[in-house]
Amino acid sequence: MSPRVCVRGVTVRFGGLIAVNDVGFEAAAGEIIGLIGPNGAGKTTLFSTLVGLVRPAAGSISLDGARIEGRKPHVIARAGMTKTFQNTALFPGMSLLDNVMTAAVVREDLKSARRTAEACLERVGLRKAALANVADLTFPQKALAELARALAVKPRVLLLDEVMAALTPAEMDEVMATMRSLRDEDGMTLLVVEHHMRAIMRLCERILVLNFGRLIADGPPSCVSADPDVIRAYLGQDHAHHA
Amino acid sequence: MIRALIIIAGVSLAAWIVGSQLPARSYEVRVLCLILLAASMAQSWNIIGGLANQISLGHGAFFGIGAYASTILQLSYGLSPWLGALAGMAAAMLAALLLSLPTMRLKGPYFALATLAFAEACRVVANALPMTGGPQGVSVPFLGDSWAMLQFRAPGTYLPVFIGLFALTSLVFALLANGRIGYQLRALRENEDAAEVAGVATLRTKLIGSLASAALTALCGTLFAQFTFFIDPDSVFSVSAISIRMALIAIVGGVGTLIGPILGALAIVPLEEVLSATLSQYIGGIAPFTFGLVLIAIVLLRPRGLASLPGLRLAEGGRP
């Protein structure tokens, strides 16, 4: 059986800059994988490439065995992979419910899309704010709204770009519980970018580390956090010797 | 949707009641027809200009194609303008498709300028073609009052035609705005990348909106030709009198809302008439100058148009 996501040799160039350099990994159904790395390491660019917003210069990406690199984002979304946006990218002139419904009306009629959207809002704990204009939401609510809209796509692979950035520890626990239920009940594969190390170490069984566009480590949290390359990437050359 | 139907029915009924009180050959009933035509044109524009915020300044192209298609078919083959209107709508959709190929990825001022150039090119070409009558224009031959040929001596007889046009364009707008396509158009208006990632086929959705908008605009063009009995390229493909005016009415009234084009037409058309009846003979160009001022004032003071005035809070929450 082919892995749910298979990434091989993916390279992304912006002019002379190589933002993602020969990255390859596989993700199985029902895995929660953390993606970490210093600022500018290429995490968001890798996510954008996986969902089709950025075209890779080289490499292949497949979803359940079907090649998807170079396809349009809506094609990839309908095939089952979507992402949330760092710093959120909601539709400001629309209510929260309408934001989430947009992802559902693509497949469903209005009545059914509304039920789907309400269920997704319920799942992230925003049901009560359904009719609010998204411009009036707080930042943590906006991040959760991003998550709800992504869930309305009914993805098999969900890429989460710092949805927990502005949350309190209690709210983070709730979101992590939601993520685990997405894996356990829905069999979803999650890739999670997060700067909050303790959260990511607790949440993920496996962590990928990017540095200057290259994948420098791939393994369980304990191995990754002890890896000299990773420590060097995060703390600089000197600390690697002492570690 | 129920609220939209009430608005459409209410405005249509009000137009009918007011119109039936006016003498069929009066100036006032002619102005009423022009208000309904202007509201229909702005409503057609509103589908793509409002819901998707693709500010087209080239809808005069579709209007002119509609006006000329039915008129030429009538002159050459004696074809009824009812059928000519369908031919005009098909031709306008084809033109919209061709225009969309290079422009649908453009945004904001780039899209506006590309569409403006397209309409201007249509005007120049129409002026050079023999079948349009060139700069002299063509007249619709008057064969006596006839529903089959959609022509009447008195402007008042056209009232049901323009009420029907208004109801049709408004209904299409409301159905699209409140339907699945409306969600997708508004989403891509707000953030194209986020819409794509949520599964919206943005180019295809914009194309559907453009085709519907172009077809309805062409229908307005056919009815305009039947109403005035004379068309020439400079008037039906006009940048200021058609293309910009369609956008202006929708923006002044409230862009992206059902009520916007209605309020815009009610404000702009009477103003136009008053200005041309009073000041135009003394100060040339006073009408377009005034519209420029009105547009600046609206954009600065009420960017969401007259529909956002207190007491008229119908544009609330961005819902149509």
Q: Is the dihedral angle over the CA atoms A190, A196, A198, A201 positive or is it negative? A: positive
Residue B192 C-beta-side C-alpha neighbours within 13 Å: 15
User: Residue B279's pLDDT band (boundaries 50, 70, 90)?
Assistant: confident
Listed residue (A64, A65, A62) closest to A10, CA to CA: A62
What is the pTM for the complete model shown?
0.90
A85 contacts on B by Cβ (under 8 Å): 193-194, 197
Listed residue (B96, B305, B40) closest to B209, CA to CA: B96
For the CA atoms of B255, B257, B263, B267, the dihedral, rounded to the nearest 10 degrees, stands at: 0
Beta-bridge partner residues of A211? A214
At B34 the pLDDT is: 96
Q: How far is residue A82's CA from residue B227's CA, in Å, rounded to a whole number?
A: 52
Contact A102/B187, CB-based, under 8 Å? yes
At B253 the pLDDT is: 93
Residues forming CATH 3.40.50.300 domain(s) in chain A: 1-80+157-243
> Is the predicted pLDDT of residue B173 greater than 50, yes or no?
yes
A134: closest chain B residue by CA: B317
> Is the predicted pLDDT of residue B316 greater than 50, yes or no?
no
> Do the interacting molecules here have an ipTM over 0.90?
yes
A133 contacts on B by Cβ (under 8 Å): 317-318
Q: How far is residue B249's CA from residue B268's CA, in Å, rounded to a whole number?
A: 7
Strand ranges (DSSP E) for chain B?
138-139, 230-231
Averaged pLDDT for residues B9-17: 95
**Mean pLDDT, chain B, as a whole number?**
91
Q: Which of A82, A85, A105 is closest, CB to CB, to B184?
A: A105
- Residue numbers of chain A with a pLDDT score lower than 70: 1, 237-243
Averaged pLDDT for residues B170-199: 96
At A196 the pLDDT is: 87
Contact A150/B318, CB-based, under 8 Å? no
User: Residue B320's pLDDT band (boundaries 50, 70, 90)?
Assistant: very low
Q: How far is residue A82's CA from residue A148's CA, in Å, rounded to a whole number?
A: 12
Q: Which of A72, A102, A133 is closest, CB to CB, to B317?
A: A133
Higher pLDDT, B61 or A237: B61
Q: Within an 8 Å CB–CB cutoff, is residue B189 touching chain A?
A: yes
CATH of A1-80+157-243, one of 3.90.1210.10, 3.40.50.720, 1.10.3720.10, 3.40.50.300: 3.40.50.300
> Is the predicted pLDDT of residue B318 greater than 50, yes or no?
no
Q: Give the minimum alpha-carbon distance from B287 to chain A in angstroms, rounded to a whole number.
A: 33
Contact A101/B318, CB-based, under 8 Å? no
Q: How far apart are the first and last CA of chain A?
A: 40
> Is the predicted pLDDT of residue B317 greater than 50, yes or no?
no
Q: How far is residue A57's CA from residue B165's CA, in Å, rounded to a whole number?
A: 51
Count of pairs with CB atoms under 8 A, one residue in A, one in B: 90
User: Residue B111's pLDDT band (boundaries 50, 70, 90)?
Assistant: very high
At A238 the pLDDT is: 59
At B315 the pLDDT is: 43
Contact A109/B194, CB-based, under 8 Å? no
B186 contacts on A by Cβ (under 8 Å): 91, 93-94, 98, 102
